[in-house]
Amino acid sequence: MTMTRGLGGSLRKTPTEMVVDGRFPFRFAIASLAIVTTIVAAMVLYVFYSYGVMRRLHAEGIELQKLAITILYLEEVLTMSARMAAVTGDPAWNVRYRQHEPTLDGVIARVRQLVDDPVALKAITETDTANATLVTMEYRALEWVREGRLAEAQALLFSDDYALQKDHYRQGLQELTASIDQQAGLAVAAQWRYFFLVVVSLIAVLLVLLSAWVAVLAVLRRWQRALLESTRQLTLQATELSEFNQTLDQRVAERTAELREANRVLTLQQQEMARLLEEVRISKANLERQNKEMVHRGEVMQSLLEDLHAAKDRIEQQAATLHSANEKLQSLAALKDEFVAKVSHELRTPLTSIKEGLSLLLDRALGAITPDQEDFIKTMDGDIDRLADLINNMLDISKIEAGRMRLMRSRLALPPLIQSLIRSYQPILGSRVVQTEVAGAVPPVFGDSNRLLQVFTNLLSNALKFTPDGGAITFHMEQRNGAVAVAVKDTGPGIAPHDLPKLFQKFSQVGGHRHGAPRGTGLGLVVCKELTELHGGRIEVTSEVGRGTTFTVLLPAYTDQIALAESFKEQLELGAPGEDEAGTLITVHVGDALNSGQAPDARQAALEHLAQEARQYLHRGDIVLPLEPSWVVVLAIVDERGISAIATRLRDKMKAGHAFRFGAATYGRDGSEAEALFRHATSPQGQLALAPKPAGANSMTPGTRT
């Protein structure tokens, strides 16, 4: 380090020496910069924080105002639903009330979470109290509506007490709204004052810091000049060091070359030694491997002997495991069917609500909609219909596979059923034609009209998907070998022979759809097959590529014997007998109530009318059948007292009941077949002796059972 002597013999350091000694204010500059950055960042963050608090308070105020409006709206909806239910007696208003009442409770609970002002809390408490009173009165009125006491329900919902509670409710809601507005205004005003003070403080601090930085910059300029001089001196020293470094590099290069040569010789020697060591290692490894192979062969022979002894035991264990797994699979299949049934049932309710909401939108009950919105809503509506069909099909299949599908069968003529189906499809046929062909007299069948309509609806929908515009679909009906055959033929593209076995597999779809037609779920034909077989029939299919496809449903023709046997079998399978109860066949001879001179069709209609009249006085699980020439048969699961109660009720309640003769037979005791039970019930041994009707006694309400 060089030193210069100034005036008076004092020593003065160069700028470089001064920088090295630490006189340049690096620490001061860094510390100042850190402090300024920290203060400014803190104040800026607080500004943003204050702004966020104001936005949150404003948002909470808006949310509280919206919640107050929602409370008022929901209360009006509940009041209107309760009063409409009381006026009309329509249970749909009760359902609507039950849907909105939990929403009102949730909104009031949300307001309680948001408000902290005592006045607002008092107002919401008063509102909640009035709401609880109103809900109690409305629940009471709805209960009266269900009991048919409409006048009492109307008197309660239009009473002065109800109006007074409504006034208390509105007054509490007005006080709540006023308190919310006042609280929100005060909070925002206070936050704005804090925000203004913070901004003013930030500006003042920035001005002070700016003055300090002006002084720091002046010091930095002086030391900048000193640094430039130091840099010049350092450049000269660097030049000298560079020359010395070149000389040193030359000497290092010469020595490096000598070391490389020595290292090459040493490397060759090491490689030779490594090769010799590798040969020794390989020889040793070969000897060890040969020894291990000999030992392993002995162990393998011993293991093979042990495996042979254990093979029989393992096979027996595997057989037992497979048997257990098969039982578990059967249990899981039953559990799957139950799960599908429960899930399908739980999905129906939300789909119905969505469907009703879309219908309101399409009807513009909630306001005008644009054409694009209408198309989008119609698409959603169609998707919901397809999803509902899928759920219904899955539920039907689950019921059928689980043996829980109950058919409400009766004597049924198929031509009128097909005609009504075709009329319902007329609006969507377009240029396609649906026609019927009836070959001769088609006898009736013993079937469930709703389920058979479901079968033919699925077949018609399936035909429409594949029939092009201008095509034709034909329903051909005829009697065939004691059965009724209904063939549904289309003029679509047809189905390839190798695809025909796939038609009745779940979720299987074959063939090409008509352009623009919605795709199905792959369950419709499965449901058709299962429902047809449940009726004791079968379904056949024939197809020719390029010409169309024909599905033929074959159902047994109606006879009294078939109707009686199938109904009694179904009653035994689906009934749940209690203690001392059994399957019972009760006969009612109604010949004296019929006109012997009537034509056969008129006599049959009169007999069915009597059966229909008897149905309304029986339990809905009982089965009623009209049997020619003059019998009405009741199938029920009852005990001895129940038999007498049913016969007495029919005698006392039906118009011509005093002229009827009753008989009964019990499954097991009097026979195990329906025909044998009918013979016993119509014989003298099966006749019932009923107690005379007491004078002035009131008849029982339809649908009740003692």
pLDDT tier for residue 338 given thresholds of 50, 70 and 90: low
Tell me, yes or no, whether 534 and 580 share the same domain.
no
pLDDT of residue 658: 83
Give the distance from CA 577 to its chain's centroid. Answer: 36
Each residue's pLDDT tens digit, 413-423: 999 999 999 99
What's the confidence (pLDDT) of residue 518? 52
Neighbours of 639 (CB within 10 A): 16
Distance CA 487, CA 540 (A): 9
550 and 648 belong to one structural domain: no
Identify each DSSP E strand in 145-192 by its residue range.
Answer: none
pLDDT score recorded for residue 622: 87
521: pLDDT strictly greater than 90: no
Same domain? For 550 and 601 the reply is: no
pLDDT of 244 over the 50 cut = yes
pLDDT in tens, 133-190: 888 888 888 888 888 888 888 888 888 888 888 887 878 777 777 777 777 677 667 7
Nearest to 621 by CA among 560, 565, 573, 688: 573
Whether residues 501 and 522 fall in one domain: yes
Q: Is residue 361 part of a domain?
A: no
Q: Could you tell me if 647 and 626 are in contact, meaning their C-beta atoms sit under 8 angstroms apart?
A: no
The confidence score (pLDDT) of residue 4 equals 43
For residues 548 and 581, membership in a common domain is answered with: no
Quickly tell me which residue has 């009653």 as its tokens: 571
Cα–Cα dist 654/636, whole Å: 19
Residue 457 and residue 378: Cα distance in Å, rounded? 22
Determine, yes or no, domain membership for 655: yes
Do 131 and 185 fall into the same domain? yes
Q: Is 282 domain-assigned?
A: no
Q: What is the mean pLDDT of residues 643-651?
A: 91
pLDDT score at 701: 42
Residue 6 pLDDT greater than 60, yes or no:
no
Tokens at residue 405, please? Answer: 């599908």
Say how far residue 43 (Cα) sits from the centre of its chain. Answer: 51
What's the Cα-to-Cα distance from 15 to each of 5, 222, 223, 415, rounded to whole Å? 15, 10, 8, 117
pLDDT of 700 higher than 50: no
The whole-number average pLDDT for the span 644-666 is: 90
Identify whether residues 567 and 424 lie together within a single domain. Answer: no
Domain that holds residue 621: 561-686
Residue 265 has pLDDT above 70, yes or no: yes
Residues 77 and 185 in one domain: yes
- The CATH number of the domain holding residue 482 is 3.30.565.10
Share of the chain above pLDDT 70, in %: 85
Residue 302 lies in a domain: no
| Model confidence pLDDT, tens digit, residues 70-114 | 887 787 888 888 888 778 888 888 888 888 778 877 888 777 777
Among 115-129, 578-592, 661-675, the range with the most confident prediction by mean pLDDT is: 661-675
- Report the candidate in 434, 436, 497 with the shortest Cα–Cα distance to residue 467: 434
The domain that holds 673 is classified in CATH as: 3.30.70.270
Q: Does residue 246 belong to any structural domain of this protein?
A: no
Among 164, 191, 218, where does a domain finish?
Answer: 191
When mean pLDDT is compared across 66-75, 262-271, 649-658, the lowest value belongs to 66-75
Note whether 184 and 83 are same-domain residues. Answer: yes
Distance in angstroms (rounded) separating the CA atoms of residues 21 and 102? 80
H-helix or E-strand spanning residue 188: helix 160-362
List, edge to edge, every strand of the sheet that includes 631-638: 623-627, 631-638, 582-589, 661-666
423-460 pLDDT, tens digit per residue, is 999 888 889 999 999 998 999 999 999 999 999 999 99
Q: Does residue 369 sit within a domain?
A: no
CATH, residue 57: 1.20.120
Note whether residue 330 is domain-resident.
no
Residue 340: per-residue pLDDT = 63
Question: Would residue 645 count as lying in a domain?
Answer: yes
Question: Which of 528, 558, 588 marks a domain boundary?
Answer: 558
What does the pLDDT read at residue 7?
39
Question: Can you give the pLDDT at residue 19?
Answer: 46
Highest average pLDDT, of 38-47, 106-115, 245-254, comes from: 245-254
Q: Where are the alpha helices (DSSP H) in 4-117?
A: 15-20, 26-88, 91-114
- Tell me: do 544 and 462 sit in the same domain: yes
Model pLDDT for residues 465-483, shown as the tens digit of each residue:
889 989 999 999 999 998 9
Asked if pLDDT for residue 584 goes beyond 60, the answer is yes
Structural domains in the chain (count): 3
Among 558, 583, 610, the domain boundary falls at: 558
Judge if 516 and 590 occupy the same domain: no
Give residue 436's pLDDT: 94
Give yes or no: residues 53 and 116 share one domain: yes
Q: What is the pLDDT of residues 268-293, one digit of tens each?
A: 888 888 888 888 788 788 878 877 87
What per-residue confidence (pLDDT) applies to 603?
A: 84
Question: What is the chain's mean pLDDT, rounded?
Answer: 80
